[in-house]
Amino acid sequence: MIPIVPAGARPAAARAAGAYLSPGALNLTALPPLSLYVHFPWCVRKCPYCDFNSHQASGDFPEEAYLDAVRADLETALPLIWGRKIYTIFIGGGTPSLMSARGLDRLMSDIRALLPLDGAAEITMEANPGTFEAEKFRSYRASGINRLSIGIQSFNPRHLQALGRIHDGEQARRAIEIAQASFDNFNLDLMYALPSQTLAEAEQDLATALSFAPPHLSLYHLTMEPNTEFAKYPPALPDDDASAEMQDMIAERTAAAGFEHYEVSAYAQPGRQARHNRNYWEFGDYLGVGAGAHSKISFPHRVVRQARFKMPRTYMEHAMAGNAVHEENEVGRADLGFEFMLNALRLTGGFDPRLFAERTGLSLNAIEERLNAAEAKGLLYRDHKLIQPTVLGQRFLNDLQEMFLMEQA
């Protein structure tokens, strides 16, 4: 998950820690939990639906040089997070499982040498079928990875081909079996509303995934993202009614299997929610390193967003020179309410109203008018202990979120 980086920066001198306290300065009584995101930008092949910062690896990729750059990036970023503990790590991409076992071990060693990790830190790595080798994944586990997120997308060969995936259904099943041998905590990514997909085919994909008793499922509706191959040449997709039937089927089947639907696209067995992603949704902090990675870092009186250079070669050159950050913006007070709600409203169980003040430094009164309007439309439930999207609010989540953007007008 790569959250929005809003526009509106202050001058560089004003961004320096403790430079001054403006009349509009925040007052965070405590800093949020801090996560680390590491981006690995290479894939075997770019998928036509993918809008992430990923690049097809033509031959060997510069693993060692890239890891040098990531370490340099981390070292440069240390003053921003000095003394803060890391509670979760997510290594995403791209396809991080293209990394050698030696490379992953080196990355984890560098992270441990530079950052204080919580003793129970959740450390997730994305992995795609077609890159699974049993011995390599045992080595990943020995290096400290304790959770895998496996990009299955579908078990159906026709749909895998349409999605441009490099694996087939049998490789997907084998990848899960290899993961189960070394990891007791893993996620399976599936997509639905695929080109020409029927309800029966979507149900078969989900049934196959459930047969492996995964601790966590991510079930994404395929969307046509700008600047992707699918956006240029749209395939024939199921209509809205067919997609809604698939969503209803997913809700019924996952609930029957004991999964809690706790976020728009996330389903977990008890005690297996994704702690890293939950930190995003609760407007926690994260340091992002690697090509194109984004960060959100809170200080007692301000919140800053950063974005690294996107192109791997450019990123490596700038990271080694000590300036991997391409953009840095301070989040204005007028944007904080919307940014918090944009994330927190994705949680189907809602959130404690006190969390708003803790993470934004603002009083809930700042969005009181919007909360009242959303409640009046039946999109939101709230009392003194809970703010929660209703079933209607979950169905029309974009509309609900946009109501808080209107707060900025």
pTM over 0.85: yes
Tell me the per-residue pLDDT of 346-358, one tens digit each, with 9 for 90 and over: 999 999 999 999 9
What residue type is 321 in one-letter code?
A
Contact (Cβ atoms closer than 8 angstroms) between residue 117 and residue 155: no
Q: How far apart are the C-alpha atoms of 143 and 304, rounded to whole Å?
A: 32
pLDDT value, residue 266: 98
Q: Which two tokens stand for residue 253?
A: 């089947």
Residue 336, helix vs strand vs coil: helix
- Is the pLDDT at 68 greater than 70? The verdict is yes
pLDDT value, residue 54: 77
Please provide residue 91's backbone torsions phi and psi, each rounded to the nearest 5 degrees: -105, 105
- For residue 102, give Cα distances in angstroms to 70, 106, 141, 333: 15, 6, 12, 45
Work out the pLDDT band at 406, boundaries 50, 70, 90.
low
Q: How far apart are the C-alpha atoms of 155 and 173, rounded to whole Å?
A: 8
| Ordered DSSP codes for 337-398 | HHHHHHHHTTBTT-B-THHHHHHHSS-GGGGHHHHHHHHHTTSEEE-SS-EEE-HHHHHTHH
Reference 139, options 176, 177, 185, 183; nearest CA is 183
Contact (Cβ atoms closer than 8 angstroms) between residue 123 and residue 147: yes
Tell me the per-residue pLDDT of 215-239, one tens digit each, with 9 for 90 and over: 999 999 988 777 777 767 778 889 9
Contact (Cβ atoms closer than 8 angstroms) between residue 325 and residue 308: yes
H helix intervals, 63-100:
63-77
Q: What is the chain's mean pLDDT, rounded? A: 89
pLDDT value, residue 20: 33
Helix (H) or strand (E) holding 210, with range, is helix 199-210
Q: Which two tokens stand for residue 67?
A: 């890891």
Cis previous bond, 350, omega within 30: no
pLDDT over 70 percentage in the chain:
92
Q: Which two tokens stand for residue 143?
A: 């290096």
Q: How far apart are the C-alpha atoms of 141 and 162, rounded to whole Å?
A: 32
Helix (H) or strand (E) holding 325, with range, is strand 325-330
Neighbour-count burial for 151-163, b at 16+ CB within 10 Å, e otherwise: bbbbbbeebbebb
How many CB atoms are closer than 10 A to CB 5? 15
Neighbour-count burial for 308-336, b at 16+ CB within 10 Å, e otherwise: bbeebeebbebbeeeebbeebbbbbbebb
In 211-273, where do the E strands start and end?
Answer: 216-221, 260-263, 266-268
Tell me the per-residue pLDDT of 69-92, one tens digit each, with 9 for 90 and over: 999 999 999 999 999 999 999 999
Please, what are the domains in the chain?
Answer: 12-279 (3.80.30.20), 334-409 (1.10.10.10)
